C-alpha cells in the first residue's frame, strides 16, 4: 500500500486462522492502514488479500456482510440515538429493516447500554461511546470483527468491562477477532496469536500458546517441606536447580524428565508442591525484541 510515493505496507505475506489475533506496532507502523485495506477503504497498490476465501478487491460487498469494524475514532451521526445508529449500521451490513432494529436492541443490551439506547449519542460518556461502537460492530452477526484500539481512553473499570466483552465474543466461537492496540496488556489478555508491524513490514508473527508450550522446560515451584532434600533429589535426576527462598525452587528440566517425575519425588519425600508455573517470555519481551531485530516473516 502506497500513499503517493510513500510506502505504508510492504511485502506482507501469510495466512491467519486464530480465534483472536493481536495487531501490534508503534505509531505509524501501518496497523490502521492494514485494517482499512482489508476492509476495502483503500485499494492495494499491488497484491491482494482474502477474507474467508473472498478477494478484498473484487468481493468487497460480500466481505462487508461477514465483517464487523469498531473504528478507533468516533464516527457517529450527530443527534442520532444509539438504537437508530446501530440499526442503520446493521442495515448497511445487509440486514432487512425490521431485523436490523431487533438486532440493534439486542446488541445494545448485550454491551450494557440497554437502558440508554434511546439517548442521543452526543450525550454519551467516552466509555459509553466505545460500547456503542462495539455494538454496531457485532449487530449483524459478523464472522470476523476488527477492533481498533477498543480500550482507548477508558478508565480501569470501563477497560475491564470492554476486555470481558471481547473475551466473551472470542470464547463464543461465533466470530474471529483482530484486535489492534498499542496496549500490550489488552492483546495479551485477549489474543492467542500476535502480528507485530514495524515500518509497514511484518516484524514478528507469534502464536502465544505455542510460545508458552515451548518454554515448559523452565519451572518455578513453591513447596512445603524439606526443600534441600527435595532439591538434591531433583539434582540426582540431572536437572539444574536453584533455591530462591525458603519455599521456592527454580528447575530446568532435562530431556527425559517430566513434571510427573517431580511429583513422584515430592510424594516419596512427603513434600507438598503448592504451586507450579512455567516461565515464558512476556509479550513485552517479544515486542521489544521485534523492535530491536527488525523484520521477520510468517
Domains of the chain as residue ranges with CATH: 2-211 (3.40.50.300), 216-278 (3.30.70)
- Flag whether pLDDT at 219 surpasses 80: yes
Q: How confident is the model at residue 132 (pLDDT cuts 50, 70, 90)?
A: very high
- Flag whether pLDDT at 296 surpasses 50: no
- What is the per-residue pLDDT for 213? 62
- What is the per-residue pLDDT for 163? 96
Q: Rounded mean pLDDT of 87-105?
A: 95
Q: Rounded mean pLDDT of 262-282?
A: 84
- Flag whether pLDDT at 115 surpasses 90: yes
- What is the per-residue pLDDT for 210? 75
- Flag whether pLDDT at 61 surpasses 70: yes
What are 62's three cell numbers?
460480500
- What is the per-residue pLDDT for 14? 85
Cβ-based neighbour number of residue 104 at 10 Å: 26
Q: Which of 36-45, 74-83, 197-206, 277-286 has the lowest mean pLDDT?
A: 277-286
Q: How confident is the model at residue 287 (pLDDT cuts 50, 70, 90)?
A: confident
- Flag whether pLDDT at 151 surpasses 90: yes
Query: What is this structure's pTM?
Result: 0.76
CA distance 57 to 33: 15
Q: Rounded mean pLDDT of 110-130?
A: 96
- What is the per-residue pLDDT for 297? 44
Query: Smallest Cα–Cα separation from 179: which of 294, 68, 3, 20?
Result: 20
CA distance 96 to 111: 22
CA distance 117 to 124: 10
- What is the per-residue pLDDT for 253? 82
- What is the per-residue pLDDT for 215? 57
Q: Rounded mean pLDDT of 257-283?
A: 85
Q: How confident is the model at residue 286 (pLDDT cuts 50, 70, 90)?
A: confident
The whole-chain average pLDDT of the chain stands at 89
Q: Rounded mean pLDDT of 174-202?
A: 91
- Flag whether pLDDT at 143 surpasses 90: yes
Of residues 297 and 126, more confidently modeled? 126
Amino acid at each position: 500500500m502506497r500513499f503517493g510515493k510513500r510506502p505504508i505496507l510492504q511485502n506482507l505475506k501469510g495466512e491467519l486462522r486464530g480465534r483472536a489475533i493481536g495487531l501490534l506496532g508503534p505509531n505509524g507502523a501501518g496497523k490502521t492502514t492494514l485494517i482499512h485495506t482489508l476492509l476495502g477503504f483503500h485499494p492495494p497498490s499491488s497484491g491482494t488479500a482474502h477474507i474467508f476465501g473472498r478477494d478484498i478487491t473484487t468481493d468487497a460487498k460480500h466481505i462487508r456482510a461477514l465483517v464487523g469494524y469498531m473504528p478507533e475514532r468516533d464516527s457517529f451521526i450527530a443527534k442520532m440515538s444509539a438504537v437508530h445508529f446501530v440499526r442503520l449500521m446493521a442495515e448497511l451490513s445487509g440486514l432487512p429493516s425490521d431485523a436490523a432494529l431487533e438486532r440493534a436492541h439486542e446488541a445494545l443490551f448485550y454491551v450494557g447500554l440497554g437502558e440508554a439506547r434511546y439517548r442521543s449519542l452526543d450525550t454519551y460518556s467516552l466509555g459509553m461511546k466505545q460500547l456503542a461502537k462495539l455494538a454496531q460492530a457485532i449487530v449483524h452477526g459478523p464472522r470476523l470483527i476488527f477492533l481498533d484500539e477498543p480500550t482507548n481512553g477508558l478508565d480501569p473499570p470501563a477497560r475491564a468491562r470492554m476486555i470481558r466483552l471481547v473475551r466473551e465474543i472470542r470464547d463464543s466461537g461465533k466470530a474471529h477477532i483482530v484486535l489492534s492496540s498499542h496496549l500490550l496488556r489488552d492483546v495479551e489478555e485477549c489474543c492467542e496469536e500476535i502480528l507485530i508491524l514495524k515500518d509497514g513490514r511484518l516484524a514478528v508473527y507469534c502464536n502465544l500458546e505455542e510460545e508458552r508450550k515451548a518454554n515448559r522446560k523452565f519451572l518455578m515451584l513453591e513447596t512445603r517441606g524439606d526443600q534441600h532434600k527435595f532439591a538434591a533429589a531433583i539434582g540426582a535426576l540431572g536437572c539444574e536447580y536453584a533455591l530462591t527462598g525458603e519455599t521456592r525452587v527454580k528447575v530446568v528440566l532435562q530431556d527425559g524428565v517430566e513434571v510427573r517425575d517431580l511429583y513422584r519425588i515430592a510424594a516419596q519425600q512427603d513434600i507438598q508442591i503448592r504451586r507450579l508455573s512455567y516461565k515464558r517470555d512476556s509479550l513485552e519481551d517479544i515486542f521489544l525484541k521485534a523492535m530491536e531485530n527488525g523484520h521477520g516473516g510468517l
